[in-house]
Amino acid sequence: MNNEENKGTLPEDDVGRPDETTDIEDRINATLDKILDDDEDEFDDIQVDYEDPEDEEPDNEAPDEENREIRETEDDYEKTKVWTDSSEEADEEESEEVMEEEPEQEEEVPAVRSRHKSARPGPVIYVPMDELDQNSDVPPGTRAKKKTHKGLKIFGLVMLMIIVLGGCAYGGISYYFTDRFFEGTWINGVDCSQKTAYEVEQLMAEKLSEYSIEVSSRNIAAQTIRGEDIDYQYMSTGEILQLLKKQKPYEWIRGLYEQKSYTVSENVGYNKTLLQEQLKSLNCAQAENQVEPENAYVAFRDNQFVIVPETEGSKLNIKEAYKLLDAAVEANEASIDFSDNQDAYVSAEVTQDDPALQSALEACNNYTKASITYTFGDQSTTLDGNTIKDWLQFDEKGQLVWDDNSFQQHVADYVAQLAATYDTVGTEREFQATSGRTVYVSSSVYGWKIDQAAETAQLSQEIQSGTQTTREPVYSQTANAYGVNDLGNTYIEVDLSEQHMYYYQDGVNIFESDFVSGNMSYADRQTHAGIFTLYYKKSPDVLRGGQKGTANYYEQPVQYWMPFDGGIGFHDADWRDEFGGDIYLTSGSHGCINLPPENAEVLYDLIQYDVPIVCFY
């Protein structure tokens, strides 16, 4: 048997000795595991210039001794690797899957037996690891898989460490903000980032320590009240601490990109007595600077009535001004202007918007509009604004001084003047008798008489409402005609001297008769001269006179009774045989006009209530 054959076979007595083979395989596996698991990074750092012998061009045809020894060593290694591969077949299932993707090797490794070697150690040959890797039978996919697995483990460890460190940092910062405000937190315009509630309270107190308020007023330069003058100081309300408690520490990261602003009440304390004293010491509260307000009023200007507005004045209402100042100080206001609030000053009692003043203006304007024209037959007179305005009273400023009593008196006087001019009751008239005589008669019961009370009331109302009208005055008594001779053309003429009467209707004599009037021998029986009207008429009736139970008492039945002057009237007198003449001088009646019965009947049918009865001597 030659040496070539001995290299590829093992002695028959060595076959089937697993203890030696197993020991070699364990050592090889342990070496490889150590290299792959523990020193992989070191091997990766080693750079070896390695060239594939097959790619190199030999310098000479005969290999030297050293290369021969290397090849022999590689052959021995590969033979040993065959045994190792067969023993680790189950552990490299994963590598086989990767190897399936690579091209199959054309040459099979023959199953050989190791020949028995001498115990003498062979020469130690240095083989570069890269070369060893290339020459080894470890599948390339297995090697890459192990490297990738190792990198993932390292990456996972690094990421775990980062997460743990990040979590610790986040938790630490969250703990830091358990008693501090987040970044971007502002309270009442103060940056409270990373500050405790106490620190924020101190900032608030510091901000208010220099407090002052500027006080402005009408026509007076502004003055300043300093906080130290009224013991002004910050008082905590606990709102800042409540805001901090509502904050969730683990949300601290929101403060890095989100700003929040809060407003809390800045409760302050100060001495109110000192504040009152400061207010009273201001120039606007001094007596010499107080100007009383003036009321609005109605004035007659440019031929019309207008309202002159009130003036504000500068008299300070100390009580109301203090309330306003106190509220401003409590609200931490930097300034206050009393001019912005009417309550701070004494106001005019009458303003231009006052309803009573508006009514007065309307009434005054109506005075100038009012025009009342009175008619008295063919005569007339007019009352208008030119007269009415003179009834109003104005002061030296042209302000209307309204006095209703005075105004009403002017109206009453005007009505009285009308009555004096146009009333005919009680006046003496010139009368042309049928006999041709001119007589003068008067009457207290006949004629025109204005009802002055009623007319005054109506005229006052018309003036205030601006009425423009033409009318008669309100009369309490009227006559048949206007003018001095108000008898007209219809009347009854009773000529007592002639003892004869006439009834004229529209100037036509429709009735006449003799009569007997009152006995002139007795003063109390004489028929009265004057102008009268009929009271009523009655048929029949009983005339009674004198005092009952005395000698002068009488009762006289009549058929036609027509009274016109108290108990005096026209009636029939059937007990007389003669009428007219001078019978009345000594044998006249008790004052009545005695008529023949037939004439009395005619007159009873003709007489009207408003016909004047003119009696004269």
Window from 107-121, 302-316, 391-405 with minimum mean pLDDT: 107-121
Q: pLDDT tens-digit profile of 75-118?
A: 444 444 443 344 444 344 444 443 444 444 444 444 444 444 44
Which pLDDT belongs to residue 368?
82
In this predicted model, which residue has the larger pLDDT, 555 or 82?
555
Tokens, residue 33? 């595991």
CA–CA gap between residue 462 and residue 464 (Å, rounded)? 6
Catalytically annotated residue among 192, 284, 592, 615: 592
Q: pLDDT tens-digit profile of 149-195?
A: 788 888 888 998 999 998 898 888 888 888 999 998 999 888 999 89
Q: How far is CA 287 from CA 141, 284, 349, 550, in A?
A: 109, 8, 20, 90
Give yes or no: 410 in active site: no
Q: How far is CA 524 from CA 283, 375, 389, 572, in A?
A: 91, 42, 54, 21
CA–CA gap between residue 166 and residue 253 (Å, rounded)? 13
Q: How far is CA 428 from CA 67, 140, 529, 614, in A?
A: 184, 162, 12, 12
Under the banding of pLDDT at 50, 70 and 90, the label for residue 121 is low
Under the banding of pLDDT at 50, 70 and 90, the label for residue 139 is low
Tokens, residue 207? 């901000």
Question: What residues pair up with 593 in beta bridges, in sequence order?
Answer: 570
Q: Which residues of 442-472 are buried (b: 16+ CB within 10 A; e: fewer)?
A: ebeebbbbbbbeebbbbbbebbbebbeeeeb
Give yes or no: 116 in active site: no
Which pLDDT belongs to residue 570?
98
pTM: 0.47
Q: Which domains does the chain have, with CATH numbers?
A: 17-93+122-138 (no CATH), 177-353 (no CATH), 356-477 (3.10.20.800), 491-616 (2.40.440.10)
Taking residues 326-352, report their average pLDDT. 90
* CB contact at 8 A, 546 and 553: yes
Which pLDDT belongs to residue 91?
44
Which pLDDT belongs to residue 137?
56
Catalytically annotated residue among 192, 364, 571, 615: 571
CA–CA gap between residue 607 and residue 616 (Å, rounded)? 19
Highest mean pLDDT among 38-52, 90-104, 402-416 belongs to 402-416
Q: pLDDT tens-digit profile of 560-584?
A: 999 999 999 999 999 999 999 999 9
Highest mean pLDDT among 10-19, 35-44, 52-61, 517-526 belongs to 517-526
The alpha helices in 219-332, defined as continuous H runs, are 239-246, 272-281, 318-330
- The pair phi, psi for residue 130, each rounded to 5°, is -65, -40
pLDDT-above-70 percentage for the chain: 76
DSSP structure string for 404-441? HHHHHHHHHHHHHHHHHHH--TT-EEEEE-TTS-EEEE
In this predicted model, which residue has the larger pLDDT, 572 or 16?
572
How far, rounded to the nearest angstrom, does the alpha carbon of residue 607 sit from its chain's CA centroid? 79
Which pLDDT belongs to residue 547?
79
Taking residues 423-446, report their average pLDDT. 93
